């Protein structure tokens, strides 16, 4: 009861005592706290359950060797806070500038303790409602037609306390170690418990199972003291700099690759762990053999009776005995707490460590249950950054926006601009937006056109996977076509066995922008919202179905897409041609001329000049425009002293000359019927 008073929202439903909240979040890790922040900002009724006494309990233990591999770039040469988030992979999103990770660590690869401190501060400074020491051990459903989703979520903690929620946000991460069972797996030490002191490995021969960052991190730690380290795993090593996927092996951990390739005794092997068997000899040495050999034998027989691979194949790679075998096989989602009625199913294939969810992050089995954070990575596994803080901080925000619309009638935030701001809005976003940049190919800015393309509505960072449901998910209407702004790598550029350093990998010319390889902005244009069917049938590897037109902004070495000719001009032409209008800027003088010589005005004059906001421009600029042939100078040359030197012609001559001088670029501007 004391707890109930503390949360202050006691409700009595059907005789049993439930503590009710609109939103329950399980887990006070980065994504749980991030979700809590947005709910708190929106003034929603929520609670976060954390089994530990402090937030971020995973980070209190892991990574074992304490070095985070999310970069903490403290200097970018820019003050744009949004842009800087592109290179800050550890901070969560908040309005509080104290809560930037660079204030917590000076290291480029910070210590995990800094993350723990950061998360504690994040929860405390923002006064997030976290209920610590509460481990949710069971989740079930209660049907109720009045409930938001047709059912309530009933949560039970370790003390049999029950909680009831309308919406459940699962932010438990993936913390259950992946274990492989094979004969002899009892001799294997787990990453969770293995010693991290290198001394304990001095003069030993070590076999590591697994080929992820934890495996290499473990190897890196003991590389200097072991006899040699072998690593075995089913898949080839994938280097993140070749795949552009931050979850693959990061260069910071790959010291062993170096020693392997330089023949310093360490090595990598490929093989299926399921086929493995480990035998311990009398001296305590561990021998590798195959399950195949064991199956034909009586296991009770001594080790000597069991065939080792080297008995038949005397150059078998792992014929040398090992002192230790360490398992570093990563983690999976904890499916155990969910009642079957929630139908929390593991994904298929390499996504089986994650629960099945839709691209909207809602569970496939249960409406109203959203999976956040690392556990939600099935949406973009091995593609984008949704499994990592710098990615899921944005997808969590997207989920919050979806919920605001669904349950509180708050449409997706948007800004309406006149069409003249279209090019600018896009350029601004592609240059600074961090969500688009981190969650490339997953989150997209949406531009909804108003009737006659005179104005547009700008929605930021919408999950493209649910594009077809845009109108219901955002509460915004898209009857007149839309643009999507998204970031992409070149389609065939990255991959595990591709040479990403080949000559001429960078495209420099705007007209070849579609062949850009590095991350660059892509704008899709649809005359109408794609349907679900079209989304389903989209070309493989395309985030979106075939658009009516597409534009690539050419990749840029500095990721600065503000060059007037290479970046902005082709974009403007693309937008103009989609909208069938002229989006150029004009000085007031040109608008004046058009006002008197044309019945219609270009949008820039219409929105600016006609509304008394014309761009008069300084004298110098107007001269430049005249020099460029883009503005005609009608000033007759007179006899006064300040005129140009070639002013000996009379003004009458000038008139005649004016008439016949062809100023070609103006053909586009002045085009009256009579000429």
Partner 1 sequence: MSAQKDRWVSSFFFLLFCASSIPTRGNTRLLQELSPQEYFSSLQAGRASLSYFSHNVSPGAQPFLEQIESSAEALQDYGISVVKVNCPKEDVSRYCVKENALRKAYLFRGNVLIREFPTDALFDVNSIVANVLFALLFNEVKYVETLADLQNIENALKGRSNMVFAYVPATGTAEHRAVMEAAFVYGTVHQFVLTTEATLLKDTSNDEPDVSSARLLFCHCQRTTDLAQPCRRTAMEQALTMLNIHRHLKLMGAPLVTEVTEDPEKVSTVHLQLGLPLVFILSQKETYEADRRTAEFVAWQLLGKAGVALLSRDLVDLNVLLRSNVALKTPDEGVPIKYLVLEDTDEVITLVENKSKVEQIQEDEEEEEEDEGEKENNNQDIQDDQVVEAVSRDKKRELPLEQIRALTEETFHSALLETAQTVVLFYASWEAVSLAVLRSYTEVADHLKGTRGVLLSRVNCWDWPGVCTKENVTQFPAIKIYKKGERSVMYNGMWGTEELTSFIMLSRVSCPLKLATIEEAEGYLRGEFPSELSSYHHTSLLGVFSTATSEAREAFEEAGNILSGHVTMGMYFEDDALALSRKYAVSPPALLLARSGGRSVEGIALSKQSVQDMVQMIRYELLDIFPEITVQNLPRYLQLRKPFLILFSDGDIGQMESKEMLKLAKGRPQQAFVACWLNLRKTPVGRGVLKAYFATMPSLPALIWVKLHAGGQVFKFPSEQSITEMNILSWLEKLKAGLEIPSSTLSEEDWKPPLPAYDFLQMMETAMPELPLHTSHRCGDTPARRPPKNPGGDITVQEEPSQDTEAEKVGSPGRDLRGTVPRLAAREKQGKRHSEL
Q: Which long-range contacts (CB under 8 A, 24 or more apart) does 346-351 make?
A: 347/378, 350/381, 350/382, 351/378, 351/381
Q: Which is nearer to partner 1, 75 or 557 (CB)?
A: 557
- CA 45-49-54 angle, to 5 degrees, is 120
Q: Kindly state the smallest distance separating residue 451's Cβ from partner 1, in Å.
A: 16
Helix axes 422-432, 569-579, angle to 10 degrees: 130
Distance (Å) of CA 402 to CA 416, 483, 614: 20, 20, 40
Q: Which is nearer to partner 1, 199 or 675 (CB)?
A: 675
Residue 499, C-beta contacts closer than 8 angstroms, at least 6 positions apart: none
Q: Kindly state the smallest distance separating residue 582's Cβ from partner 1, in Å.
A: 4
Q: Which is nearer to partner 1, 136 or 625 (CB)?
A: 625
Measured in whole angstroms, how far is the alpha carbon of residue 23 from the centre of its chain? Answer: 24
Q: Which is nearer to partner 1, 313 or 610 (CB)?
A: 610
Contact between 37 and 48 under an 8 Å Cβ cutoff? The reply is no
Q: Give the C-alpha separation, 562 to 424, whole Å.
A: 10
Q: Which is nearer to partner 1, 230 or 572 (CB)?
A: 572
Residue 19, C-beta contacts closer than 8 angstroms, at least 6 positions apart: 3, 4, 7, 9, 10, 11, 47, 161, 162, 163, 164
Residue 336, C-beta contacts closer than 8 angstroms, at least 6 positions apart: none
Distance (Å) of CA 118 to CA 16, 96, 289, 389, 420: 38, 13, 46, 13, 43
Residue 170 bridge partners (DSSP): 26, 371
Q: Which is nearer to partner 1, 315 or 635 (CB)?
A: 635
Q: Kindly state the smallest distance separating residue 528's Cβ from partner 1, in Å.
A: 12
Q: Which is nearer to partner 1, 42 or 670 (CB)?
A: 670
Q: Kindly state the smallest distance separating residue 621's Cβ from partner 1, in Å.
A: 4
Beta strands, E only, 216-356: 228-233, 267-270, 276-280, 286-290, 324-327, 331-332
Please state whether the peptide bond connecting residue 447 to the residue before it is cis, i.e. omega within 30 degrees of 0.
no
Q: Give the C-alpha separation, 73 to 84, whole Å.
A: 8
Q: Which is nearer to partner 1, 296 or 672 (CB)?
A: 672
Q: Kindly state the smallest distance separating residue 329's Cβ from partner 1, in Å.
A: 25
Tokens representing 63? 């990574």
Tokens 């980070």 -> residue = 59
DSSP 254: T
Q: Kindly state the smallest distance separating residue 471's Cβ from partner 1, in Å.
A: 19
Q: Kindly state the smallest distance separating residue 63's Cβ from partner 1, in Å.
A: 32
Half-sphere exposure of 247 toward its Cβ, with a 13 Å CA cutoff?
16
Q: Which is nearer to partner 1, 285 or 498 (CB)?
A: 498
Contact between 192 and 175 under an 8 Å Cβ cutoff? The reply is no
**What number of other Cβ atoms are within 10 A of residue 329's Cβ?**
21
Beta strands, E only, 100-256: 130-131, 136-143, 151-157, 162-170, 176-177, 188-190, 205-209, 228-233
Contact between 172 and 334 under an 8 Å Cβ cutoff? The reply is yes
Q: What is the full DSSP assignment across 468-518?
A: GGHHHHHS---TT-EEEEEEE--TTT--TT--TT-TT-S---GGGGGG--S
Q: Kindly state the smallest distance separating residue 457's Cβ from partner 1, in Å.
A: 12
Q: Kindly state the smallest distance separating residue 251's Cβ from partner 1, in Å.
A: 21
Q: Kindly state the smallest distance separating residue 371's Cβ from partner 1, in Å.
A: 23
Q: Kindly state the smallest distance separating residue 421's Cβ from partner 1, in Å.
A: 5
Q: Which is nearer to partner 1, 356 or 581 (CB)?
A: 581
Residue 403 bridge partners (DSSP): none
Q: Kindly state the smallest distance separating residue 423's Cβ from partner 1, in Å.
A: 9
Q: Which is nearer to partner 1, 263 or 600 (CB)?
A: 600
Q: Kindly state the smallest distance separating residue 487's Cβ from partner 1, in Å.
A: 16
Q: Which is nearer to partner 1, 163 or 493 (CB)?
A: 493
Measured in whole angstroms, how far is the alpha carbon of residue 497 from the centre of its chain? Answer: 23
Q: Which is nearer to partner 1, 73 or 573 (CB)?
A: 573
Q: Which is nearer to partner 1, 185 or 581 (CB)?
A: 581
Q: Kindly state the smallest distance separating residue 604's Cβ from partner 1, in Å.
A: 9
Q: Kindly state the smallest distance separating residue 337's Cβ from partner 1, in Å.
A: 33
Closest CA to 637 of 654, 623, 622: 654
Tokens 């935030």 -> residue = 413
Tokens 């929860």 -> residue = 123
Q: Which is nearer to partner 1, 264 or 452 (CB)?
A: 452
Helix (H) or strand (E) holding 651: helix 651-660
């Amino acid at each position: 009861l004391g707890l109930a008073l503390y949360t202050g929202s006691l409700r009595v439903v059907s005789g049993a005592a439930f503590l009710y909240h609109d939103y329950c979040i399980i887990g006070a890790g980065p994504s749980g706290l991030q979700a809590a922040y947005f709910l708190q900002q929106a003034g929603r009724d929520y609670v976060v359950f954390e089994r530990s006494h402090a937030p971020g309990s995973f980070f209190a233990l892991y990574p074992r060797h304490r070095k985070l591999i999310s970069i903490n770039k403290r200097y970018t040469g820019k003050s744009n806070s949004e842009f800087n988030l592109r290179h800050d992979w550890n901070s969560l999103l908040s309005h509080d500038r104290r809560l930037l990770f660079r204030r917590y660590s000076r290291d480029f690869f910070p210590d995990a303790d800094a993350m723990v401190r950061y998360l504690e501060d994040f929860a405390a400074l923002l006064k997030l409602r976290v209920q610590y020491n509460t481990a949710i051990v069971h989740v079930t459903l209660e049907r109720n037609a009045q409930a938001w989703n047709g059912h309530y979520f009933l949560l039970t903690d370790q003390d049999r306390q029950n909680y009831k929620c309308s919406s459940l946000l699962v932010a438990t991460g993936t913390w259950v170690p992946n274990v492989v069972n094979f004969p002899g797996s009892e001799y294997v030490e787990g990453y969770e418990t293995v010693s991290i002191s290198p001394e304990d490995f001095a003069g030993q021969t070590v076999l590591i199972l697994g080929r992820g960052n934890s495996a290499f991190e473990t190897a890196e730690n003991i590389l200097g003291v072991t006899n040699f380290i072998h690593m075995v795993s089913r898949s080839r090593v994938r280097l993140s700099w070749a795949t552009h996927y931050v979850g693959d092996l990061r260069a910071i951990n790959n010291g062993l690759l170096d020693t392997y390739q330089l023949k310093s005794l360490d090595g990598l092997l490929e093989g299926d762990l399921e086929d493995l068997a480990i035998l311990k000899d009398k001296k305590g040495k561990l021998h590798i053999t195959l399950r195949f050999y064991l199956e034909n034998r009586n296991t009770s027989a001594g080790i000597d009776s069991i065939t080792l691979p080297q008995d038949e194949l005397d150059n078998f790679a792992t014929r040398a005995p090992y002192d230790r075998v360490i398992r570093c096989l990563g983690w999976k989602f904890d499916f155990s707490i969910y009642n079957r009625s929630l139908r929390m199913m593991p994904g298929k294939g390499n996504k089986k460590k994650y629960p099945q969810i839709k691209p909207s992050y809602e569970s496939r089995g249960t409406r109203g249950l959203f999976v956040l954070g690392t556990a939600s990575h099935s949406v973009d596994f091995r593609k984008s950054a949704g499994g990592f803080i710098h990615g899921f901080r944005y997808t969590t925000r997207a989920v919050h926006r979806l919920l605001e619309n669904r349950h509180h009638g708050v449409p997706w935030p948007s800004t309406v601009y006149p069409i003249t701001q279209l090019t600018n809005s896009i350029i601004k976003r592609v240059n600074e937006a961090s969500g688009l940049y981190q969650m490339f190919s997953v989150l997209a800015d949406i531009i909804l056109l108003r009737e006659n393309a005179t104005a547009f509505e700008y929605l930021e960072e919408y999950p493209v996977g649910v594009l077809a449901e845009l109108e219901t998910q955002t509460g915004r209407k898209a009857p007149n076509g839309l643009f999507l702004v998204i970031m992409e790598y070149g389609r065939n550029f990255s991959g595990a066995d591709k040479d990403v350093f080949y000559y001429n990998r960078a495209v420099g010319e705007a007209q070849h922008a579609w062949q850009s390889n590095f991350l660059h902005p892509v704008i899709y244009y649809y005359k109408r919202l794609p349907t679900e069917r079209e989304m389903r049938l989209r070309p493989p590897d395309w985030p979106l179905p075939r658009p009516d037109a597409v534009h690539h902004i050419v990749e840029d070495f500095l990721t600065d897409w503000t060059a007037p000719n290479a970046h902005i001009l082709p974009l403007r032409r693309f937008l103009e041609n989609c909208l069938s209008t002229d989006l150029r800027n004009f000085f007031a003088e040109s608008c004046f001329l058009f006002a008197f010589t044309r019945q219609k005005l270009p949008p820039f004059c219409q929105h600016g000049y006609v509304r008394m906001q014309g761009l008069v421009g300084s004298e110098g600029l107007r001269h430049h425009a005249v020099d460029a042939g883009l503005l005609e100078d009608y000033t007759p040359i007179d006899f006064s002293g300040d005129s140009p030197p070639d002013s000996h012609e009379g003004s009458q001559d000038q008139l005649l000359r004016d008439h016949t001088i062809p100023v070609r670029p103006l053909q586009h501007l002045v085009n009256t019927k009579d000429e």
